[in-house]
């Protein structure tokens, strides 16, 4: 019973049964009530007509009139005196017990007719009985007309059989339709399950062919999108490990090689020795940056990354960053320019972690220098009432539009071969985005291949202090 088509089919069949059983009961009651009401009306009418006919004739002819009327209509009837004597009867005989039954009930009647819903004789026959008052001489009597219920019961039994057959036919049809519908509905789910299991096994090229526009089609497209995302993330992860291995191997090789040279005294001049020491220091610094990036990402993933909130003078911070990067820019002939729109230096003060904001902006400007061969890099600062906007625009090689949605994803690098030439692990922009978002800000990008890239960072003047350290 673990298959969804069986569960769905069983649920629909139970629903059909729950509908058919009350429906059959209601139909039976409707037909029973119809037949009984019709028989009661006919019996009452005959009783009243016979009573009127007898009361209009001379007394001597009354019994003859009853007998003739009974023969003509083939109707069961009987006339009882108030003492319980049978004055006349037609096609009907009753035991003493039956006579006492009617006598006890009829003698308390006024002029209104008497009607029984069901009367069962001592012989086991079931009738409807309607009685009306008549005058026989100076005494009163009752004419009782009987209508057999056996034919009604037979008709009801026929109707019940037909209803039962119709219910069985409906149930069988419903079962067939249920099997068809449940399988029709469950087959896409079964295919999705198989596809999901294939994806779980690492077959990320698996796709579901589902063209419907309903919820099942939406679920199929979601699974296909998930498989595509997993494939892309898996490729990025493999590339990341390859890049990390390369990034680690290169400085380690330098460190090991030049440390051996220094240990064995294989330098000729003091200047050559200092050059080797500088290389070791630079490669150690490079390793430190890489490890710090990985450590920051790990803290962000675990939710243990905290900000030390202070007042940050953004214009001074940006000038400091530009001073740090001016040497690298000058080596490539790139002009660094800074402009800001603020009525006073106080307008560029925000609440934030100065070290993390500097880390993010430094990463952005170094990226701009790295991917710009010549030209200029413009950094602008615009102060608004509740936020500040920082724009970093370069004249570099630009980024293809198809790459833009992914550049902030972890491990992603634009044009892999070109990225290896310029270095980097694909972590920088991901860290920048998370740092900006931790400050309650946003980062957006626009780029044109061959013309350059524009990054726009928006930071709030004050941020929520929850989850941060205030100093």
Please report whether residue 344 resides in a domain: yes
| Whether residue 332 has pLDDT greater than 70 | yes
Residues 273 and 311 in one domain: no
* In a domain? residue 333: yes
Here the CATH number for the domain that contains residue 360 is: 3.30.565.10
pLDDT higher than threshold 60 for residue 10:
yes
The answer to whether residue 226 sits within a structural domain is no
| CB contact at 8 A, 5 and 186 | yes
Whether residues 357 and 426 share a domain: the answer is: yes
243 versus 459: which is more confidently predicted?
459
Average confidence (pLDDT) over 380-398: 91
- pLDDT value, residue 415: 58
Residues 54 and 121 in one domain: yes
Residue 55 lies in a domain: yes
pLDDT at 150: 75
pLDDT the model gives residue 109: 60
Handedness of CA 25, 30, 34, 37 (dihedral sign): positive
Q: Please tell me the total count of domains within the chain.
A: 3
One domain, residues 293 and 437: no
CA 414 to chain centre: 37
Q: Where is 118: in which H helix or E strand?
A: strand 114-120
**Residue 105, domain CATH:** 3.30.450.20
Q: Is residue 194 part of a domain?
A: no
pLDDT of residue 251: 77
Q: Is the pLDDT of residue 15 over 70?
A: yes
**Highest mean predicted confidence (pLDDT) among 160-174, 210-224, 360-374, 409-423:** 360-374
Q: What is the mean pLDDT of the chain?
A: 79
Within a domain: residue 182?
no
Q: What is the pTM of this model?
A: 0.49
- DSSP for 176-210, written as a single string: HHHHHHHHHHHHHHHHHHHHHHHHHTT-TT-----
Q: Which of 258, 274, 300 is the last residue of a domain?
A: 300
Q: Are residues 265 and 140 in the same domain?
A: no
Out of 257, 277, 300, a domain closes at 300
Same domain, 244 and 372: no
Say if residue 268 is in the same domain as residue 359: no
> Is the model's pLDDT at 244 over the cut of 80?
no
Q: Confirm if 193 and 31 have CB atoms less than 8 A apart.
A: no
Average the pLDDT over 102-107 and give the result: 73
Same domain, 283 and 322: no
Whichever domain contains 243, its CATH number is: 1.10.287.130
pLDDT of 455 strictly over 90:
yes
Residues 323 and 376 in one domain: yes
Tell me the range of 12-21, 118-127, 258-267, 417-426 where mean pLDDT is highest.
258-267
State the residue range of the domain holding 402.
Answer: 306-470
Which stretch of 38-47, 70-79, 166-175, 407-416 has the lowest confidence by average pLDDT?
407-416
Q: Is residue 162 part of a domain?
A: no
- Spell 248-257 as b/e; 16+ CB within 10 A means b: eeebeebbee
Domain boundary among 246, 271, 300: 300
Instruction: Report residue 154's pLDDT band, with 50, 70 and 90 as the boundaries.
Output: confident
**Most confidently modeled range among 16-20, 83-87, 138-142, 270-274:** 270-274
Strands 114-120 and 126-136, by their bridges, are antiparallel
CB 371 within 8 A of CB 397: yes
What pLDDT is recorded for position 1?
A: 46
Least confident of 82-91, 262-271, 383-392, 429-438: 82-91
Indicate if 450 and 312 belong to the same structural domain: yes
Q: What is the pLDDT of residue 112?
A: 61
Residue 457: pLDDT over 90: yes
Instruction: Looking at the structure, tell me whether residues 418 and 332 fall in a common domain.
Output: yes
Token reading at 384:
């608004």
Together in a domain, 426 and 312 = yes
Domain assignment of residue 166, yes or no: no
């Amino acid at each position: 019973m673990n298959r969804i088509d069986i569960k769905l089919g069983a649920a629909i069949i139970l629903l059909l049964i729950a509908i058919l059983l009350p429906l059959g009961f209601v139909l039976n009651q409707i037909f029973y009530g119809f037949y009984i009401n019709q028989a009661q009306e006919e019996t009452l009418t005959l009783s009243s007509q016979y009573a009127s006919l007898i009361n209009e004739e001379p007394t001597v002819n009354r019994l003859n009139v009853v007998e003739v009327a009974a023969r003509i209509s083939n109707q069961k009837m009987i006339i009882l005196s108030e003492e319980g004597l049978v004055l006349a009867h037609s096609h009907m005989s009753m035991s003493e017990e039956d006579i006492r039954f009617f006598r006890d009930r009829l003698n308390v009647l006024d002029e209104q007719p008497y009607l029984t819903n069901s009367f069962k004789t001592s012989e086991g026959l079931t009738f409807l009985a309607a009685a009306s008052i008549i005058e026989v001489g100076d005494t009163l009597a009752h004419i009782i007309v009987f209508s057999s219920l056996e034919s009604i019961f037979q008709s009801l039994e026929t109707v019940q059989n037909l209803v039962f057959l119709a219910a069985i036919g409906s149930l069988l049809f419903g079962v067939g339709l249920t099997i068809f519908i449940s399988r029709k509905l469950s087959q896409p789910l079964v295919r999705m399950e198989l596809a999901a299991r294939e994806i779980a096994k690492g077959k990320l090229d698996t796709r579901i062919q589902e063209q419907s526009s309903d919820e099942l089609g939406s679920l199929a497209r979601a699974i296909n999108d998930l498989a595509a995302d997993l494939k892309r993330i898996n490729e990025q992860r493999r590339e990341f490990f390859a890049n990390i291995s390369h990034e680690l191997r290169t400085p380690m090789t330098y460190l090991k090689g030049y440390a051996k040279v220094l240990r064995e005294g294989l330098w000729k001049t003091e200047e050559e020795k200092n050059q080797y020491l500088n290389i070791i220091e630079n490669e150690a610094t490079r390793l430190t940056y890489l490890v710090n990036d990985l450590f920051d990402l790990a803290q962000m993933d675990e939710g243990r990354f905290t900000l030390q909130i202070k007042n940050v003078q953004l214009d001074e911070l940006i000038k400091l960053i530009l001073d740090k990067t001016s040497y690298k820019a000058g080596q490539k002939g790139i002009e660094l320019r800074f402009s800001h729109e603020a009525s006073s230096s106080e307008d560029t003060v925000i609440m934030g972690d100065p070290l993390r904001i500097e880390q993010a902006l430094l990463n952005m400007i170094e990226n701009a220098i790295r991917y710009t061969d010549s030209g200029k890099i413009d950094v602008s600062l615009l102060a608004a009432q509740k936020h500040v906007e920082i724009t970093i625009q370069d004249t570099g090689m630009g980024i293809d539009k198809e790459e833009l949605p992914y550049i902030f994803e972890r491990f992603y690098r634009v044009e892999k071969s070109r990225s290896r030439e310029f270095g980097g692990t694909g972590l920088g922009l991901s860290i920048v985005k998370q740092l900006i978002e931790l400050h309650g800000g946003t980062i957006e990008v626009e780029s044109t291949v061959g013309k350059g890239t524009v990054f726009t960072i928006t930071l709030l003047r004050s941020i929520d202090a929850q989850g941060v350290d205030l100093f």
